[in-house]
């Protein structure tokens, strides 16, 4: 469904991605893990189009994204839930979700999507009239995920959904992602610093260090890998 082929990118003369190749198949849950500054968010920016790669190719469902401007990519079915949530603080929960439904598919599926989102995140339903800026961190993350889902994506990209959340709240969100993926038949690409949790959920993982993929494989193989166990799982 999505391939990155030897992608290079950066913001200044210093390269951040040094030839990243990643493959995500339809229906898969893929995690990209790695330390601070490895370039995980930068990968997402190249996929959503806010940063243009200086080399390589990104292909989504057979289409080379180089010719698709960033504002068109959500209409192809790519949803990016950014790091730090970035909900519209002065709008209500419901209005934030409506803002997410701006794609053709999102408008078409709105009635079904809003019911599903409220089913996965009952807190959002209870607080539908509350201003998003007054939600707790966990609730804001639920809202950010819900807003992404409201666009009726085929690929949901989540940038560190657990950031700044208590472990129990992060676990709740991770568990929901599994339900969402099953019932919405979505493909999920997750970037996470919580390596153990991310690899527990994902089918496939990539370990990124200094802008390069240093390890990749199915989750069981990565969790059993001595380098991962020592560097990331504290074993």
Decide if 113 contacts 150 (C-beta within 8 A): yes
Instruction: Report the alpha-carbon distance of residue 51 to residue 45 in Å, rounded.
Output: 5
Interface with ligand ATP, residue 39, by CB under 6 A: yes
190, two tokens: 């997750």
Q: Counting contacts by CB under 6 A, is residue 37 touching ligand ATP?
A: yes
Q: Does 53 bind ligand ATP (CB under 6 A)?
A: no
Work out which of 2, 4, 33, 38 binds ligand ATP, going by CB under 6 A: 38
Identify which range of 11-19, 99-107, 130-138, 177-185 contacts ligand ATP by CB under 6 A: 11-19
- Write the interaction track for ligand ATP spanning residues 69-108; mark x where CB under 6 A is met and - where it is not: --------------x-------------------------
- Residue 229 beta carbon to ligand ATP: minimum distance, rounded to whole angstroms: 20
Greatest extent of the chain over all pairs of C-alpha atoms, in Å: 49
- Which stretch in 10-18, 121-129, 195-203, 218-226 sits in contact with ligand ATP by CB under 6 A? 10-18
H helices of the chain, in order, are 40-48, 73-76, 93-100, 104-108, 110-120, 122-126, 137-149, 167-184, 195-201, 219-224, 226-231
Q: Which residues contact ligand ATP (rule: CB under 6 A)?
A: 11-12, 16, 34, 36-42, 83, 193
């Amino acid at each position: 469904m999505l391939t990155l082929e030897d992608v290079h990118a950066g913001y200044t003369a210093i390269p951040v991605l040094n030839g990243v190749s990643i493959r995500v198949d339809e229906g898969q849950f893929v995690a990209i893990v790695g330390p601070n500054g490895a370039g995980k968010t930068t990968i997402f920016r190249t996929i959503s189009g806010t940063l243009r790669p200086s080399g390589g190719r990104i292909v989504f469902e057979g289409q080379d994204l180089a010719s698709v401007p960033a504002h068109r990519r959500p209409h192809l079915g790519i949803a990016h839930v950014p790091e730090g949530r970035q909900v519209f603080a002065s709008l209500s929960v419901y209005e934030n979700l409506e803002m997410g439904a701006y794609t053709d598919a999102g408008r078409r599926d709105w009635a079904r999507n809003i019911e599903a989102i409220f089913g996965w995140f009952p807190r959002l339903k209870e607080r539908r009239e509350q201003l998003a800026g007054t939600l707790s961190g966990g609730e804001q993350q639920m809202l950010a995920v819900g807003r992404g889902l409201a666009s009726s994506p085929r690929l949901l990209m989540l940038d560190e959904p657990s950031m700044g959340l208590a472990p129990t709240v992060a676990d709740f969100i991770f568990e929901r992602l599994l339900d969402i993926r099953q019932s919405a038949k979505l493909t999920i690409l997750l970037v996470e610093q919580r390596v153990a949790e991310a690899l527990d959920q994902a089918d496939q993982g990539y370990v990124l260090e200094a802008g390069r993929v240093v390890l990749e494989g199915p989750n069981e193989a990565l969790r059993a890998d001595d380098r991962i166990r020592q560097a990331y799982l504290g074993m």
